[in-house]
Amino acid sequence: MKRVLIIMMAAAIAAVSCSSEKKAPGNPFFAEWNTPFGVPPFDKIENEHYLPAIDSGIALARLQIAEITGSEEAPTFINTIAKMDHSEEILTRVAYVFYSQTSANTNDTLEMLQMEIAPKVSAFSDEVLLNADLFGRIRTVWENRDSSQLNDEELFLLDNLYKSFVRNGALLNSEDQEKLKMLNQELSVLTVKFSQNVLAETNKFKLVIDNEADLKGLPESVITTAAAMAKDEDMEGKWVFTTQKPSMLPFLQYAENRDLRKKLYDAYLNRGNNGDEYDNNKILADIVRLRAERAKLLGYRTHADIVLETRMAKTPDNVLNLLNDLLNRALPVAGRERDEMQKIILAEGGNFKLEPHDWWYYAEKLRKSKYDLDDNELRPYFSLDNVRDGAFAVATKLYGITFSPINEIPLPHPDAQAFEVKEADGSHVGVLYMDFYPRESKRQGAWCGGYRDHQVVDGKEITPVVTIVGNFTPPAGDKPALLSMDDVLTLFHEFGHGLQGLFSENTYSTTTVAWDIVELPSQIMEHWVTQPEVLSMYARHYETGEVIPQALVEKIRNSSYFNTGFDNVEIMAASLLDMAYYSLEAPAEVNPQQFEKETMKKIGMIPEIEPRYRSTYFLHMIDGYDAGYYVYTWAAVLDNDAFEAFNEKGIFDQATATSFRKNVLEKMGTMDAEQMYLNFRGREPGIEPLLRNRGLN
């Protein structure tokens, strides 16, 4: 019987592959990738290749699941869990490329495909998670785990896989499972639409300046970039600013025209809230309502309770206790910052109260007056290439790895760069792509993703392909891309995520990462940015090559607490807004604008500061950080405490770096997060380093 089943499966797989190839001849997803290091052949992948490849990947995975459930052998880890782990190999390969491209290089066709593919993938996910025969085999393996002689990684995988099936409806009756499928289908489409609307809104608004007097106060480099952007838009002789932060923030910092600052900032704040085709209010309300319904159906009080079950925080109350504690510490600090800026307004003869769109402008004045530090003084020392190489140098000193440019390799976009990452002994670690400049096809912000994860298949190590994507100010004229201090921190932050992806040592593709700790690798990297020893490695003037003067280094360190009230308040407000939405019990009917306003009033938000993300463009709250934006703050407790370990022995201490790599970076997703941290630090994290480093103690 088993031999007959195998023959039938082989024939079916061949039929699916042939059928798919006929639908899309020459489809790169149906052939081995003969590229350097097996990276995706981006130059050969066309829009029409994705859907047939997704369909084929689902069909093949479906057949392999059927082989597992049709087996007459008693369920074991090898014939059930490990086999299932490899069942979606082709689907995963296609999905990684597709979703990376829709984030960083989308177009109208890809956006339409997203709307078609999202419900397909959601339906297939439900099909797997609600497969009673498959769950029965997994449950049998899980119930016999104590006598199965599995290693720690396998036990962790098995336990979390079983619980994931339960958490996603495996124990529901058939009627409720059908309801769950419908909810998941609706959510899959709504979340894609929300994200697409934010991108459309970001691209839609342009502040066009045709009067040179309105540029007063802006640094020459900012003006040059705005002129180049206008030229690209066929508006030569004018200047264009957008709601992309590399364009918007310098304008808010330096432009003397208060009305134009308000116009640009209001456009940023109201993305998705303009009552037009891109309005996200109803979409968000529906997402909140459906997630609350889904939680109730699954037997949970709220969506937040589902999300937090696998995390270090465990419960919404633990999250709220941390966020409220830090907010209450930060609000008085922010209030003092506000009062100092109000004094500047009055001293200059201003007859108005500070408003949110004024904060960056007067904060910059305050920084100059208190610390004699102008952010514009720093930019010439932070050319993008130097900062990138500085991040590489830090990783080399910590872990011994090296980064070599790869010239002849397919790129996900012409702007992207590729590097081979090697161990100190020259052995291959993985491939790192970096894609830094904004464009209309790229969503806002910065992130780290991947085109392939580390795993071991049939004894062969599969090495990772990681991508870091940003939206930094591009080169303009004869000037290279020059970064702000915030940009430098962002690059190091995403590079930390990249290191974790490159160092992963998981055997299986199925991992379970507690998102409370996922930001530890990224946020700890930020601590090296302003260390004098590190600044001397990368902060060199783009024209003269001069190392950043010691006087500027001292100013940077002296101003380390600058604007800390604002920074903490805006991120706590956004985190609390996220938790407020997802702590609602079904039926959860919300008007986002009213709900946001009431939430800000409840937490005591001062009117001069807006939350870092407002409801209708809060992408984190939709695409994976739902009931999870708090993780940046939870991880901040970890990263400040972890960096203390380096400070105690030296910021490049090899033993500490090796321990961090072995116990944290390599183990992510394959071990309990609390145990990972304990193995590294030897104790639980303390909050004191965070309070001290943020000036909140």
* pLDDT above 50 for 13: no
pLDDT band at 325 (very low <50, low <70, confident <90, very high): very high
CB 504 within 8 A of CB 359: no
CB 626 within 8 A of CB 578: yes
Euclidean distance between CA atoms 548 and 537, whole angstroms: 10
Euclidean distance between CA atoms 503 and 454, whole angstroms: 8
Residue 56 covered by a domain: yes
Q: Are 164 and 221 in a shared domain?
A: no
Euclidean distance between CA atoms 565 and 640, whole angstroms: 18
Structure-block tokens of residue 489: 């921190």
What pTM was estimated for this model as a whole?
Answer: 0.93
- Judge if the upstream peptide bond of residue 25 is cis by omega within 30 degrees of 0: no
Q: Are 81 and 136 in a shared domain?
A: yes
* pLDDT above 50 for 629: yes
The residues, any chain, with a CB within 8 Å of residue 267's CB and separated by 6 or more, are 205, 207, 243
Closest by Cα among 26, 79, 74, 34 to 53 = 26
Q: Are 257 and 158 in a shared domain?
A: no
* pLDDT above 90 for 101: yes
Structure-block tokens of residue 667: 């183990």
Residue entry with tokens 């009917």? 589
SS3 content of the chain, % helix, strand, coil (to 5): 60, 5, 35
Euclidean distance between CA atoms 170 and 126, whole angstroms: 10
pLDDT band at 17 (very low <50, low <70, confident <90, very high): very low
Residue 8 covered by a domain: yes
CA 588, 591, 592, 596 dihedral sign is negative
Residue 569 covered by a domain: no
CATH number at residue 448: 1.10.1370.40
Which helix (DSSP H) or strand (DSSP E) does residue 405 occupy? strand 402-405
CA-angle at 617, arms to 604 and 475, nearest 5°:
115
CB 309 within 8 A of CB 516: no
Structure-block tokens of residue 177: 């499972």
Determine whether 355 is an active site residue: no
Helix-helix angle 281-297:592-602, to 10 degrees: 70
Q: Are 165 and 210 in a shared domain?
A: no
CB 248 within 8 A of CB 174: no
Residue entry with tokens 């998941």? 184
**What values do phi and psi take at 685, rounded to 5?**
-70, 150
**What values do phi and psi take at 467, rounded to 5?**
-130, 135
**What values do phi and psi take at 432, rounded to 5?**
-120, 120
Alpha helix positions (H), 372-508? 375-378, 384-399, 485-503
Euclidean distance between CA atoms 248 and 245, whole angstroms: 5
Instruction: Write down which residue in 221, 252, 269 finishes a domain.
Output: 269
Report the number of distinct structural domains present in the chain: 3
Provide the pLDDT for residue 25.
66
**What values do phi and psi take at 548, rounded to 5?**
-50, 130
* pLDDT above 70 for 21: no
Closest by Cα among 94, 101, 3, 7 to 49 = 94
Residue 675 covered by a domain: no
- Mean pLDDT of the residues in the chain: 95
Q: Span 210-238, mean pLDDT?
A: 95
Provide the pLDDT for residue 24.
57
CA-angle at 67, arms to 63 and 70, nearest 5°:
125
Q: Are 75 and 224 in a shared domain?
A: no
* pLDDT above 90 for 10: no
CB 94 within 8 A of CB 36: no
Euclidean distance between CA atoms 474 and 493, whole angstroms: 19
Q: Are 215 and 98 in a shared domain?
A: no
Helix-helix angle 132-143:152-167, to 10 degrees: 140
Provide the pLDDT for residue 233.
92
- The three-class DSSP label of residue 239 is strand
Provide the pLDDT for residue 632.
97
* pLDDT above 70 for 104: yes
CB 140 within 8 A of CB 75: yes
Closest by Cα among 445, 302, 473 to 380 = 473
Residue 591 covered by a domain: no
Q: Are 11 and 148 in a shared domain?
A: yes
pLDDT band at 541 (very low <50, low <70, confident <90, very high): very high
* pLDDT above 80 for 16: no
* pLDDT above 60 for 2: no
Q: Are 522 and 398 in a shared domain?
A: yes
* pLDDT above 90 for 14: no
Structure-block tokens of residue 289: 């309502």
Euclidean distance between CA atoms 529 and 506, whole angstroms: 29
The one catalytic residue among 67, 186, 201, 494: 494
Burial 587-620 (b: 16+ CB within 10 A, else e): ebebebeebbeebbeebebeebbbbbbbbbbbbb
Q: Are 536 and 394 in a shared domain?
A: yes
Burial 14-37 (b: 16+ CB within 10 A, else e): eebeeebeeebeebbbbeebebeb
The residues, any chain, with a CB within 8 Å of residue 347's CB and separated by 6 or more, are none
CA 393, 396, 399, 403 dihedral sign is positive
Provide the pLDDT for residue 477.
84
* pLDDT above 80 for 23: no
CA-angle at 30, arms to 25 and 33, nearest 5°:
115
Residue 46: is it exposed, middle or buried by C-beta count within 10 angstroms (0-12/13-18/19+)?
Answer: exposed
Provide the pLDDT for residue 623.
86
Q: Which residue range is the domain that position 495 belongs to?
A: 379-558
Residue 326 covered by a domain: no
Instruction: Write down which residue in 269, 286, 306 finishes a domain.
Output: 269
Q: Are 24 and 101 in a shared domain?
A: yes
Provide the pLDDT for residue 624.
87
Structure-block tokens of residue 384: 């993008």
Q: Are 165 and 214 in a shared domain?
A: no
| Long-range contacts of the stretch 17-22 (C-beta < 8 A, 24+) | 17/56, 17/60, 19/56, 20/52, 20/53, 20/55, 20/56, 20/59
CB 561 within 8 A of CB 579: no
CB 641 within 8 A of CB 681: yes
- The three-class DSSP label of residue 485 is helix
Euclidean distance between CA atoms 553 and 151, whole angstroms: 49
pLDDT band at 4 (very low <50, low <70, confident <90, very high): very low
Question: Mind listing the pLDDT tens digit for each residue in 302-320?
Answer: 999 999 999 999 999 999 9
Closest by Cα among 167, 179, 492 to 306 = 167
Q: Span 641-664, mean pLDDT?
A: 97
Question: Mind listing the pLDDT tens digit for each residue in 243-301?
Answer: 999 999 999 999 999 999 999 999 999 999 999 999 999 999 999 999 999 999 999 99
Residue entry with tokens 């009305």? 259
Neighbours of 41 (CB within 10 A): 15
Question: Mind listing the pLDDT tens digit for each residue in 480-510?
Answer: 999 999 999 999 999 999 999 999 999 999 9
Instruction: Write down which residue in 269, 287, 314 finishes a domain.
Output: 269
Residue 445 covered by a domain: yes
Q: Are 167 and 225 in a shared domain?
A: no
Residue 193 covered by a domain: no
Closest by Cα among 178, 167, 254 to 218 = 254
